[in-house]
Each structure stands twice: as structure tokens, then as C-alpha cells.
Structure 1
Amino acid sequence: MRFNGAIKSWNDERGFGFIQPAQGGPDVFVHIKAFNTFAGRPQVNQRVSFQVRPGPQGKRRAVDVEVIGVKRAARAPMRRNRTTAQRGKASLLLIPLFSVGGRER
């Protein structure tokens, strides 16, 4: 289940902070790694959407955090790797032509 809220506090040096849920209740811990693709650092009062999961000590923590109002960057299409045969053909084309022993052929 997704929740909405706002960044209540953020410690940029340590990479974590707390989210104040919009529907009320206790603040939720959030780590920088919980943010989906996002350019920049979280800012206090920034609106976010998130899910809640239990952390290592059983305390609530935010996961899958998205900043509201920021569009995700479109992913570039994946580049296909060339097959071994294609690489072999390409390398044959790149063999430089040069003179051997100072004589031109």
C-alpha cells in the first residue's frame, strides 16, 4: 500500500531522514537508497509517495520512495551487444594497411 507524506527532516551528510505521513501517525525513517531514480537530494517539505516495510530492528521504514511532481527520466534503449561473428567482421575491416619494411606494395 502506498502512502503520501512530506520529508520532515533530512541529514544530507548521513543520507537519511524522516517522512511525516499525510494521514498522520508516527514519522517514518527513510534512507537515500530507498529513493527511486531521482536527480538531487531530498529536501525538507518535499512531497513524496512511499511504501512501508519493517527495517532490521522491526521499526517502520520507507521503501520505493518517489518524489511527487518529478517526472521519471525516460530510460535509454538498451544497446545490444554484437555477436562474436559481428565483432570478427568489424575487426577485419579495421586492419590498417601499411608498408612492410619501408617498401610499399
Structure 2
Amino acid sequence: MMDYFYLAFAIVCEVVGTTAMQASNGFTRIGPSTVVVVGYGLAFYFLSLVLKTIPMGVAYAIWAGLGIVLIGISGVIFFKQSLDIPAMLGMGLIVAGVAVINIFSKAVGH
């Protein structure tokens, strides 16, 4: 069960790092730039722990799918970016894909 905690933490760290990257203004602002480096460092460290127990393809599908959705939400909240209907529909399909993997895939190792 810790593997999914680590995966969730890795995803959150990646989302924080990517959000900070937008705020770093091309790595010209030291605070957000530091958050990018720490966020990605932690994200990849915890993803490496996840890969000990969850198959790489499954872990990466969950990581990428949920990361895309969370980054989209982050852009709306922190940077006043907007998502149109096709973007939201596509993100909904990504979430559905992640759900299918977690509910039905034997590779997940329930």
C-alpha cells in the first residue's frame, strides 16, 4: 500500500515542480527555480521507489494521467489559465483511463 502513497507523493511533487517552473519565469527567479529542482528531485526519487513494486508502464500511466489533470487545475487556479470543453473532456478521458487501469488491470497487483 505504501507504493501508492509514494506514487501519489511523487505526482504531487511533480505538479508542484511544474507549477513552480511556470512561476520561475524561465529560471530567472531563484525561489520558484529552487522549488522546481527540489520538486522534481523528490518526484523522481519516490517514483523510483514505486517502480520496485508497480510495473513501469502502469506507474507511468497513472503518473502522467493524474499529473496532466492536476497541472491543468493548477494552471486555472494559480495562473488564471482557462480550459475549454475539449480540454476538459480529454482530461476526463485520461482520468477514466487511469481508473480502468486501477480497477481492471491484473498488472497493477491488487
Report the TM-score range of the alignment, normalised by the length of the smaller protein.
under 0.3
TM-score of the aligned structures, taking structure 2 as reference length:
0.21
TM-score of the aligned structures, taking structure 1 as reference length:
0.22
Max radius of gyration: which structure? 1
Structure 1 or 2: larger strand share? 1
